[in-house]
Amino acid sequence: MKAFKISNTTELWQKETSLPAVVSFSQSLDNILGTNGFQLGSITELLGLPGSGKTQLCLQLCASVQIPKLLGGLNAEALYIDTNTNFTITRFREILSASLLRCQTILGEPLQMTEDEALSKLHYVNAFGLEKFCAFMYRLPKFIEAHPNIKLIAIDSIAYPFKDGISTKQRTGLLFRQMAELQRIAVQYQVAVVLSNEMSTRVGLSGGAVVGSLGDAWAHRCNVRLLLSTPQVTQDPTERLALLLKSNVAPSTVARFKITEEGIRDAE
């Protein structure tokens, strides 16, 4: 019979605070997470209406995970699972090029990595449709084993494959099995998992409310939930808000950031 490992809280605290994170290039956004970025070993859900910045943040993180260790980065790779044709290579190249240039400026010397080499560190999979998405999710553990330098998985979006042609009961069963596997992968392989999710309208006795897709039970499966939105009053159309809805390590608070040509940046 396998023995249980019993740890004291000091060991748990040291383990939790020693886990590295993927930065967003917005210090205010990273700060509200309480972990200086999107922590490895955890699952983060990005909620928001179209245009709120979910895909842009996913793309930025896929570039940021490659930051050299000399600058406190991970020098790692990313996997982008596209379920809704949100990914564009042209936009990713813009963000990646700007991220590499910023690192080079900070170092004051050329990086030991070309843009083509950096591009090869992002693995992309077209997972359009429920059958194709589920088939790849079934293969995901072996793919991660074969690519141990992947430290970020972005699924954009998690809700889209389940929109049509499936009952609520079937959807719930599939989602919860996949989430259990994602949680295992995140912890076992020390990977940051980021899921974008859409908004839907819930009709109640007092009217309608805009909430995240997939229901309330889904919310408990993610370690962190971020609600992205556009400020109602702003002079800058690139400005966005990030509200921390759920976290085990930080209180609920709001950060301002911008979506620029270079990617995610701090709001001035």
Domains of the chain: 22-198+206-266 (3.40.50.300)
State residue 124 phi and psi, 5-degree precision: -115, 140
Closest CA to 83 of 196, 153, 160: 160
30-55, pLDDT tens digit by residue? Answer: 999 999 999 999 999 999 999 999 99
For the chain, what percent of residues have pLDDT higher than 70? 87
Dihedral, CA of residue 86, residue 213, residue 63 and residue 149, to nearest 10: -110
* Rounded CA separation 35/18 (Å): 10
**Higher local confidence (pLDDT), 225 or 235:** 225
pTM of the model: 0.90
87-100, pLDDT tens digit by residue? Answer: 999 999 999 999 99
pLDDT over 90 at 26, yes or no:
yes
Instruction: With beta carbons less than 8 A apart as the criterion, state whether 210 and 58 touch.
Output: no
Phi-psi label, residue 263: left if phi above 0, alpha if psi -120 to 50, beta otherwise: left
